[in-house]
């Protein structure tokens, strides 16, 4: 059993803040900021595509709920990031899908680097070429 399945079954300890039929939410042991939680589907699936639509939907609904809870809590929270690493190359370390939800505030020193990352600005032709490749894949799902 994977580490998150062992937490979900109660075999390993975790600081649980919410649980329903499909999901369990517990604190990340290496939080980016206090209140950093992981929303974990109880049924094991390694990647997002392996999740049932019901589990994927519930993971996002619970993520929305945790966003609201963080904002209304006594924890320091001026904004919230939701983050999901799908695959090793995307930074996934635990092979059981999970949605990170963590509070943000001015000066917390965390950065997703979207602003500083040197992004290209392709022309419309190139954007359309990329869209075509992706649309083909969407159509064949």
Listed ranges 46-54, 87-95, 106-114, 127-135: which one lies at the site for ligand AMP (CB under 6 A): 87-95
Q: In what order do the strands lie in the sheet with 16-19?
A: 16-19, 23-27, 37-41, 99-104, 79-83
CB of 118 to Zn ion, least distance (A): 36
Residues 69-128 that bind Zn ion (CB under 5 A): 96
CB of 57 to Zn ion, least distance (A): 19
Please enumerate in sequence order all residues whose Cβ is within 8 A of that of 40, keeping only pairs 6 or more positions apart, or say none.
4, 7, 8, 23, 24, 25, 26, 96, 97, 98, 99
Q: Answer yes or no: are the C-beta atoms of 33 and 103 closer than 8 Å.
A: yes
Instruction: Tell me the two tokens of residue 140.
Output: 């064949």
3 is a site residue for ligand AMP (CB under 6 A): yes
- Residue span 7-46 as binding mask against Zn ion, x where in contact by CB under 5 A, dash where not: -------------------------------------x--
Residue 29 binding result from Zn ion, ligand AMP, none, given CB thresholds of 5 to 8 Å by partner type:
ligand AMP
- Residue 70 DSSP code: H
Question: What element of type H or E holds 8?
Answer: helix 3-8
CB of 50 to ligand AMP, least distance (A): 15
Residues 15-34 that bind ligand AMP (CB under 6 A): 26, 28-30
What are the two backbone dihedrals, phi and then psi, of residue 7, each rounded to the nearest 5 degrees? Answer: -70, -45
Q: Any catalytic annotation for residue 76?
A: no
Task: List residues near ligand AMP by CB under 6 A.
Answer: 3, 14, 26, 28-30, 38, 85, 91-94
């Amino acid at each position: 059993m994977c580490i998150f399945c062992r937490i979900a079954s109660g075999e390993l300890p975790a600081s649980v803040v919410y649980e329903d039929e499909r999901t369990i939410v517990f604190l990340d042991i290496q939080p980016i900021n206090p209140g950093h939680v992981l929303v974990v589907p109880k049924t094991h699936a390694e990647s997002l595509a392996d999740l049932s639509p019901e589990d994927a939907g519930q993971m996002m609904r619970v993520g929305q709920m945790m966003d609201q809870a963080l904002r209304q809590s006594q924890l320091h929270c001026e904004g919230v990031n939701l983050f999901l690493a799908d695959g090793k190359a995307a930074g996934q370390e635990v092979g059981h899908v999970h949605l990170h939800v963590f509070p943000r505030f001015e000066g917390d020193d965390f950065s997703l680097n979207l602003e500083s990352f040197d992004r290209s600005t392709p022309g419309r032709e190139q954007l359309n070429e990329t869209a075509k490749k992706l649309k083909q894949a969407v159509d064949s799902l």
